[in-house]
Amino acid sequence: MHHAIWKPRRPVYLCDGATVVGHEEADGPLGACFDRHDPKDDTFGQPTWEKAEGEMLRQAAELLLARNGLGPEDVEALLAGDLLNQCTASGYGLLPFDIPYFGLYGACSTAAEGLILAALLADFTGGRAICAVSSHFCSAERQFRFPVEYGGQRTPTSQWTVTGAAAFLVSAAREDGMRRGRAVRIAEMLPGITSDRGVADANNMGAAMAPAALDTVLRYFSLSGRKPESFDMLLTGDLGSEGSSLLCEMARAEGLDISGVHRDCGLMIYDRERSDKHAGGSGCGCSAVVAAGHILPEMRAGRLADVLLVGTGALLSPQAVQQGRSIPGVAHLIRITAKEGD
């Protein structure tokens, strides 16, 4: 295990996160945290689900720039990705912004992957970078499983792709003009290593991602020498109920008890009983809107001080699954802190 934890050479701030979500997410327990939602049908006024997703992402980026008083020329780089083939929500949705563009494909881990790279770019340039990601239930279902109109039955382990987009502002300056509260930094980063333990069920993403999350979490605690209890939260992206129990159980078998601090964005975003969301939320948008809309404001307000965000991704491909392949997972970790010091 030679791969070190990366620390920015100068303070790098997670300044703001703008969120736009669908009506199911706005109805959920975190509904009040999100900046904007489509009150009607999640089309965002567009004729196709793919265009709807791009429009949702565009609105998130536009909102972020507007409320921070920034123009495209003030941002050094835009790192973006989504779940659609050829990442079209990002490629098309972010066309209006004349900012140097880096397309990412990290499946549901894209927010964490993009935040790592945005932090490195803010560190390198001394300026600002935006990480913007999205997912949409209807575009994802039709691409990865069945069109929503088909009305297929869902298995108990299946997760619900979050309709949501977030745009994060990462900067080498505090940029605190607009928002009061504590300064929040990206203090550490540990990128994930892909792993494949043979899970081939496209309706059980949590199980496919849990081993990758375990690998990253074990490496982090081993390299840092810290203990889980020194954090307010170890927040995984979208393991859901299946993947979350697997992660905690496997970590325990390795002598690491994370059960006291572990939370999962996929288990926070919906009221699963009330809205029949099976194993919980998933998708690029899941960890992104929970981190941007809920965690960051909680940290600014002083209710959370030190959080590990582990963005989990299942590199699922319908074609690969049809060809009999199992599903690789990856998990990128960032430590977000409002504490002084390292």
Do residues 187 and 342 lie in contact, with contact meaning Cβ atoms separated by under 8 Å? yes
Write down the least CB distance from residue 308 to a copy of itself, Å. 16
Nearer to a copy of itself, 28 or 106 (CB): 106
Nearer to a copy of itself, 106 or 243 (CB): 106
Write down the least CB distance from residue 3 to a copy of itself, Å. 6
Query: What are the backbone angles phi and psi of residue 31, rounded to the nearest 5°?
Result: -50, -40
* Distance from C-alpha of 90 to C-alpha of 94, rounded to nearest angstrom: 6
Interface residue list for a copy of itself (CB under 8 A): 1-4, 6, 9, 48, 50-51, 73-74, 76-77, 81, 84-88, 91-92, 94-95, 98-107, 113, 116-117, 120-121, 123-125, 190-196, 315-320, 323, 325, 328, 330
* Distance from C-alpha of 261 to C-alpha of 231, rounded to nearest angstrom: 7
Do residues 336 and 185 lie in contact, with contact meaning Cβ atoms separated by under 8 Å? yes
Distances in Å between the Cα of 155 and the Cα atoms of 34, 159, 213, 234 are 29, 9, 23, 27
Write down the least CB distance from residue 204 to a copy of itself, Å. 17
Nearer to a copy of itself, 57 or 315 (CB): 315
Write down the least CB distance from residue 313 to a copy of itself, Å. 8
Query: What are the backbone angles phi and psi of residue 326, rounded to the nearest 5°?
Result: -85, 180
Give the amino acid at 329: G
Q: Tokens 């008890």 appear where?
A: 257
Nearer to a copy of itself, 109 or 241 (CB): 109
Give the amino acid at 94: L
Nearer to a copy of itself, 26 or 308 (CB): 308
Write down the least CB distance from residue 275 to a copy of itself, Å. 28
